[in-house]
Amino acid sequence: MSRRAPLVIGHRGAPGYRPEHTRSSYELALALGVDAVEPDVVFTSDGVLVVRHENEIGSTTDVADHPEFADRRTTKTIDGVELAGWFTEDFTWAELATLRCRERLPNLRASSASFDGMQPPLRLVDVLALVREASLDQGREIGVVLEIKHATYFSGLGFDVAGTIAAELRAAGWVDGELPLYLESFEQSVLAEVRAQGVRGTYVCLLEAKGRPYDLVAAHGDAAPTYAEQVSPTGLDRIAAEVDGISLDKRMILAPDLRGRPTGPAAVIDDAHARGLRVFTWTCRPENAFLLPAFRRGREKSAFGYYESEWRIIADAGVDGVFVDHPDLGVGFFA
């Protein structure tokens, strides 16, 4: 029996071609035919949901070039990891709007870096409006895969994470299922909190190849289950009782051996499907830097390797959605 093509999701827009989470990145992804786009959200000091991969913005904006913000540089511990830089929660939205975005990986994606300094950050409401407009213009349903970042951390600072997300989605007309909405997080607890706010959507638990979910670490310490335990049959039973799907680091599907050769697809996809869970994977990228050693071509990290061979394993595994940085390649291969 033939499998249904997976959703092709523009990961932060089209970051293979434009700085991530910028207007041009999202507009390009939508024009190239993705089924959905994925904004990550974090908070400003005045409670605005802004679209940034992380709350630390030193590597993705020109904040370091603004002398008026020099004293905002600090060191914080985010989800157990110490980071130095500038953080969204120390800025108002009006202040962040004065910054301009930059390519996060300039040595790898020089063409994208040529767009540095041209565009301000976006709010969640801006991305929601872009997607709705593109859906109307193109005459098709386009979805949003909303990733909630660092929920436990922001809750600890006093932010009403679930309530703010629900309120902004409701105000923008995204809570009643008119357009496809997916809500995802590495922290399953915040997904339950948003669902309790009456937001209709598909709830997806993100899973790393290593480590433990931070919300469970905060609650249970060393007794918190690892991601590996979560994808065991018993772990999937628990997940399936609370969410609609899982989103896996692609290495969990490819299952590389010590020499970087794939041994997958791993059993987790069939195990998840048997429990009624949808399965997404992240992130399908063509550059050598992101491919398993078995699929690299030459030594240049930015060069495209034999990515289609890696992607074929993922497609044949029967995933329900794939995150891509180059939407044209993703749509061309997976659609």
Q: Are 44 and 91 in contact (CB under 8 A)?
A: yes
The conformation of residue 115, written as its DSSP 8-state character, comes to T
Q: Is 201 among the domain residues?
A: yes
The answer to the question of residue 114 being in a domain is no
What digits encode the pLDDT tens for the residues 189-206?
999 999 999 999 999 999
Structure tokens that stand for 28 in this block = 């390009």
Residue 95 is assigned to a structural domain of this protein: no
pLDDT tens digit sequence for 57-86 = 999 999 999 999 999 999 999 999 999 999
Q: Map residue 178 onto helix, strand or coil.
A: coil
Domain of residue 36, CATH code: 3.20.20.190
Full-model pTM? 0.97
Tokens matching residue 162: 């679930």
- Give a yes or no: residue 182 inside a domain: yes
| Per-residue pLDDT at 263 | 96
State the chain's mean pLDDT as an integer. 97
In a domain, 2, yes or no: no
Is 197 within a domain?
Answer: yes
pLDDT at 335: 87
| Exposure letters 7-25 (e unless 16+ CB within 10 A, then b) | bbbbbbbbbbbbbbbbbbb
On whether residue 72 sits in a domain, the answer given is no
| 210-220 pLDDT per residue, tens | 999 999 999 99
One-letter amino acid at 259 equals R
Domain membership of residue 177 as a residue range? 7-55+124-334
Report the sign of the C-alpha dihedral through residues 308, 310, 316, 317, in that order: negative
Given a cut of 80, is residue 111 above it in pLDDT?
yes
Which 3 state secondary structure label does DSSP give 29?
helix
Interstrand relation of 321-324 and 278-284 (parallel, antiparallel or unpaired): parallel
d(CA 29, CA 324): 10
Q: Is residue 260 part of a domain?
A: yes
Looking at the structure of the chain, the number of domains it has is 1
